[in-house]
Every structure is written in C-alpha cells, then in structure tokens.
Structure 1
Amino acid sequence: MHELSIVQDLLKVCDTNATEQGASSVKRVEIQDIIVRCCQCGREGTIMANEFVCPMCGSRELVVTKGEDLILMRLELEK
C-alpha cells in the first residue's frame, strides 16, 4: 500500500497550500506524466491513465522511465 501513502502525502501538501493561501477549495491538481518505454518495439512516450499498452505494437511489456513518484506540477485553488 505504498501508493496510498504517496497519494495521502500529496493530498496533504495540496490541503496545506490551500490553507496557507486562504483558498476555499482545491480546484485542480496536476501531477507529472508517466513516461514509459516499450520492451518490444522501444517506443518511449506518455501513456493515458490506466492504459498500460504500447500504442505502436500493443505490447504490455512496458517499463516506467519517469513518473513513478507523484510530483505536483500544478495546483489550482479557489478563493
């Protein structure tokens, strides 16, 4: 359940920022894209949420090269 603690920490950071900025709510949270490399054809690129299939060859043998950690890229708050 390592993923759960990462998400909980990210939500805590968002909530803390909202409180410090006097925001009434968090409008949008944007995290770093997941970059994968296909072990079959070598294609490297982003994937869509929950679509761990290479768009070029259909292989499911993908290696995450960037984005395993949830990095907050953008946080939109509502005053």
Structure 2
Amino acid sequence: MHEFSVVQSLIGLIEKNAKQNNAKSVSKVVVKIGKMSGIEPHLLKIAFDTFKEKTICENAQLEMIIQDVIAKCEDCGKEFTVKDYRFICPECEGFNLRITDGEDMYLMSLEMDV
C-alpha cells in the first residue's frame, strides 16, 4: 500500500506550509487525485486518518477531488475526457494523444488556524 508513503510525504508538505504561515493547526486538506495517478482514494483516506494523529493535521478533514483523465489529440487538437480508458480521439479517431490531466495527485489547498 504505497498510500502510506504518499501520506507521509503529504503530511511533511503540509507541516512545511503550516510552519511558513505560522499556523497552529490545519483544519482542512484538499487534494486532487487523478484517476490514473495510481492512488486509491479510500486507501489514501485510511492512511491519512492513521498518520495524522499527533501531527499538525490531527483534527484535519481530508477532501478529495477526483480528476478525470483529460487528453488532447495531437492530430486534430480536440481536447476530451477519456471514458472507460478508451484512448481514441472522438473527433478523428486518432491515437496520437497527450494526457493533460488526471495522472497526478496535487495538494490544492489548506485551511489553517493561525
């Protein structure tokens, strides 16, 4: 379960941001998780709830925004949401695609008590 190591890194990033803003605690953490990021949201929630104890995030709520996979066809320029992992352009039926969103996990925002 690599979500444990992801959460450890996430909490480290949160603590760094909190320190830079002189925060006493963090009340809300918002992350965006791409459907192709390899992160399982329910496992991330379990890991976050486990590792947040005795940290600045102890009372924080985790909000997850699940991001669809967005692709752009390099042949016709059409940008579209990939559905059912069908990596074919709906406009020209080409395969020359570039993924523009949905592969990563991002820390989007923090609500901190200062």
- For the criterion TM > 0.5, the same-fold answer is yes
Cα deviation code 1:12-44 (max 9, x no counterpart): 1001111121110011110112226553xxxxx
SS of the residue 1:71 aligns to: strand
Rounded Cα–Cα distance in structure 2 between residues aligned with 1:22 and 1:8: 21
Q: Aligned partner of 2:19: which letter?
A: T
Residue segments in structure 1 that go unaligned for 5+ positions in a row: 40-64
Structure 1 or 2, whichever has the larger Rg, is 2
Matched, 1:76 2:111: yes
Residue segments in structure 2 that go unaligned for 5+ positions in a row: 33-64, 70-81, 85-100
- How many residues were matched structurally? 56
Alpha-carbon RMSD across the aligned residues, in angstroms, is 2.5
Cα deviation code 1:40-64 (max 9, x no counterpart): xxxxxxxxxxxxxxxxxxxxxxxxx
Aligned pairs for 1:1-79 (under 5 A) are 1-32=1-32, 33-34=65-66, 35=68, 38-39=83-84, 66=102, 69-79=104-114
Give structure 1 regions of 4+ aligned residues with deviation exceeding 3 angstroms: none
